[in-house]
Amino acid sequence: MLSFEKINADNMMQTAQFYNYKISRTSDYTVGGIYMWRDFYDTSFAIYEDMILYKVKFLDRTSFTYPIGSGSFAKAMEALKEYCKSNDLPLWFCTVPEEVIPILINEFHGTIPGTPPRDWADYLYRAEDLAQMAGRRYSGQRNHINKFLRLYPNYQYHEITPDNVNRVIDFLKDYQIKFGKEASLAQKEFKGALEIMPLLDKFKLPGGFIEVDGEIIAMSVGEIIKDTLYCHIEKANRNYEGAYQMIVREFARHNVTEEVKYINREEDVGDEGLRKSKLSYHPTKLLDKYCVLIPYN
């Protein structure tokens, strides 16, 4: 019988070793995504024959994420079926990427109740696009960047390290006072950001910030898995025109390598301002995520 354990700072990296087996570029199998939202989704995990299984609360019901690892997908599914039977639970999967849908439907007779929620689709970009901002499509972003460069020619970009992370945490707290949103999800994101910042070194997450005259005015934290850079946190002082465009570009430039082909800037969760902003950077694709119900027999 499966036994699930709550996610915490000490066991997070034990589960992260499985993420290289994921077959999609969605943000749900990432250290940042799992850890920052572990309380919101009541996340726990079990490792079964070299497969990682997550149990969460999603849409007010117990759900699971699709199994990944070097073991047998079919055996992991059977273990989940047995667990759900024993606990009188329907076998729901959540945040299922389109790459896994054929497996769950054709091999396990899953059904999809309706269309995937638009609010939870990830925004996927070509890494080169955000690092270079080239071409007519990005003329608006370049205008903001050029104005920033004229106003603040002595700006500096720094990587976040254990020596300066407390300064970045102070920036986040100040940002929340000046620009923070009252929406419940925004408040939970801020809480998750403060919790993960002291753990960036432990979790091996890259981060960077922009400084003007000794003051931090923008920051970003992400994660690289296979060919994708994930952006988990991104904040900028709006009083510095072009600060957001600059941190998007600089974070990409300092973390994109020959191996990194895409950048996932995650969901807009239905926030119209976020949606407008994320669309303005011209995603190459929106990564839909589905809920799938699997019968026991």
Residue 194 has pLDDT above 90, yes or no: yes
- Percent of the chain surpassing pLDDT 90: 97
How many CA atoms lie less than 13 Å away from 105 in the CB half-sphere? 13
The pLDDT assigned to 182 comes to 87
Q: How far is CA 51 from CA 70, 80, 113, 240, in A?
A: 6, 11, 26, 46
Scanning the chain, the segments in alpha helix (DSSP H) are 12-16, 31-36, 73-86, 101-102, 127-132, 139-151, 165-179, 184-196, 200-203, 243-255, 272-280
Burial 81-98 (b: 16+ CB within 10 A, else e): bebbeeeeeebbbbbbbe
Arithmetic mean of pLDDT, 18-29: 97
Q: What is the mean pLDDT of the chain?
A: 97
pLDDT band at 183 (very low <50, low <70, confident <90, very high): confident
Residue 126 in tokens: 């070509």
Q: What is the pLDDT of residues 86-137, one digit of tens each?
A: 999 999 999 999 999 999 999 999 999 989 999 999 999 999 999 999 999 9
pLDDT band at 24 (very low <50, low <70, confident <90, very high): very high
The pLDDT assigned to 89 comes to 97
The pLDDT assigned to 152 comes to 98
Contacts of 126 (CB under 8 A, 6+ apart): 261, 262, 263, 284
The pLDDT assigned to 78 comes to 97
3-state SS track over 175-201: HHHHHCCCCHHHHHHHHHHHHHHHHHH
- C-alpha span between 40 and 33 (Å, rounded): 11
pTM score, whole prediction: 0.96
Contact 295, 109 (CB under 8 A): yes
- C-alpha span between 55 and 42 (Å, rounded): 8
The pLDDT assigned to 193 comes to 98
Closest CA to 187 of 278, 248, 116, 271: 271
Residue 1 has pLDDT above 90, yes or no: no
Residue 296 has pLDDT above 90, yes or no: no
The pLDDT assigned to 92 comes to 98
Contact 253, 53 (CB under 8 A): no
Q: Where are the beta strands (DSSP E) in 41-110?
A: 44-48, 51-58, 61-64, 68-69, 91-97
Contact 233, 168 (CB under 8 A): no
Q: What is the pLDDT of residues 31-75, one digit of tens each?
A: 999 999 999 999 999 999 999 999 999 989 999 999 999 999 999
The pLDDT assigned to 109 comes to 97
Phi/psi for 66 (5° steps) reads: -65, 140
Which domains are seen in the chain, by residue range? 5-120+289-294 (3.40.630.30), 122-266 (3.40.630.30)
The pLDDT assigned to 111 comes to 98
Phi/psi for 38 (5° steps) reads: -65, -40
Contact 242, 145 (CB under 8 A): yes
Q: What is the pLDDT of residues 3-19, one digit of tens each?
A: 999 999 999 999 999 99
Lowest mean pLDDT among 39-43, 93-97, 184-188, 205-209: 184-188
Closest CA to 244 of 233, 236, 252: 236
